[in-house]
Amino acid sequence: MKRTLNIIAGVILFIFLAPSMCMERIEPGKIGVRRSLEGGVAEQDFKVGYHLSLPFWHSWYQLDGTIHYLEYNSAQNTALDVRTKENNVIFIDLTIPYRIRTDEAWRIVREGFVESYDDKVKSTATGILREALAELSSLDVQQPEKRVEVGRKALPQLNKALEQYHVEATHMVLRSIRFRDQYEAKLQNKQYYIVQGRLDEARQQELAAKQETETLEKVIVKDIALKAEEWNKKIEEVKSRYELEIAEIDAEATRYGRAKRAEADAKFAELKSEGDLAEAKAEALGEKLKAEALATKAGRTFSAIEAVRRFKLGNVRLNSTDPQFLYRFGSMGAWRRFFLGE
């Protein structure tokens, strides 16, 4: 029973320990290379994760798969010194990012560069860069586009030389270039005189441009005055022509108004005469008709009625002893004769 328990415990322990004993973990940022006792280095790169690894049979290398940086830095006294075409020494601060080529880490292990490929990259890059950057002249160094062009041409040459170590440079960054202190001072003085000369030339150009501008301004002012005079003349001509036309229109309107007013006055006098004549005829006809109407019996009666209406009798002294009084004054016949004339 005890032996059985020991066997079961051993099996369980083997089950838990076997995966860790038979697997190799490749860390992030690393490239795995496997070597076996019989087959040597496996011709493949192993990526991040777990891979089969037999105890005492397989051994592993983990190379840095991230970006490496080759630095040339004046602050660390590692600046790259290069001689220009004029045999002047320049010191260059330079950075070259590089990395292991895809699926070639196993070649680094097989060829024995695991511990030395960084140093070989530096020595190879130094030689290539000194040869390529030596094409720069002292004047080219001062021109950014020239520096960039030389660096761009040097990168393919560098990568071709680095193929033997199975790495590649991604790009190249030239941070600064300086000469020796004595030559730097001379160069700065020379640059100062060049800048001063260009400044003087710019000032001369400025004076010439200013003089040209003033001359052009005078010409423009003169042209504007001539054009203004020409347009004023045209305006006066047009104004005179329109004033003449307006005067002619006013005269024509006055003549037309007078003619129409005279016609209207004559027409008014004619119509007024006709109206006065018609009115006189109407009055005459009315008087005639009135006279004719009053001449009739009814007209006489109407006249008598009107006479009675308007008749006012004053103080009358009556003689009551007169026998003819009532006959002459108070009878109807007397009044009819008085008012009707019968």
Predicted pLDDT of residue 17? 45
Specify the pLDDT at position 324. Answer: 61
* pTM, full prediction: 0.48
Q: Which of 115, 106, 116 is nearest to 33 (CA)?
A: 106
More confident residue, 207 or 328: 207
Bigger pLDDT: 230 or 12? Answer: 230
* Arithmetic mean of pLDDT, 294-321: 63
Task: Point out the least confidently predicted range of 119-128, 190-199, 213-222, 301-310.
Answer: 301-310
CB contact at 8 A, 154 and 94: no
Tens of pLDDT along 103-160?
988 898 888 888 888 898 989 988 888 888 877 777 777 777 877 788 788 889 889 9
Across residues 13-38, what is the average pLDDT? Answer: 72
pLDDT average, residue stretch 30-51:
84
For residues 314-328, average pLDDT: 59
Burial zone of 68 (CB within 10 Å; 0-12 exposed, 13-18 middle, 19+ buried)? middle
Q: Dihedrals φ, ψ of 174, to 5°?
A: -90, 110
Strongest mean pLDDT among 13-27, 40-54, 197-211:
197-211
Per-residue pLDDT reduced to its tens digit, 253-279: 888 878 878 887 788 777 878 777 778
pLDDT digits (tens, 9 = 90+) for 160-187: 988 998 999 988 888 877 776 666 556 6
Give the pLDDT score at 334: 60
Cα–Cα distance measured from residue 142 to residue 178, given in angstroms and rounded to the nearest whole number: 10
Q: What share of the chain has pLDDT > 90, as a percent?
A: 3
Domain segments of the chain as ranges? 16-64, 68-179, 296-340
Mean per-residue pLDDT, 202-225: 86
C-alpha–C-alpha distance, residues 92 and 82, integer Å: 8
Q: Does 196 score more than 50 pLDDT?
A: yes
Pairing verdict, β 89-100 and 68-72: antiparallel
Give the domain 68-179 fold: Tetrahydropterin Synthase; Chain A (3.30.479)
What would the DSSP string read from start to end of 189-203? HHHHHHHHHHHHHHH
Q: At what angle do helices 117-133 and 144-162 cross, to 10 degrees?
A: 140
Are residues 165 and 105 in contact, defined by beta-carbon separation less than 8 angstroms? no
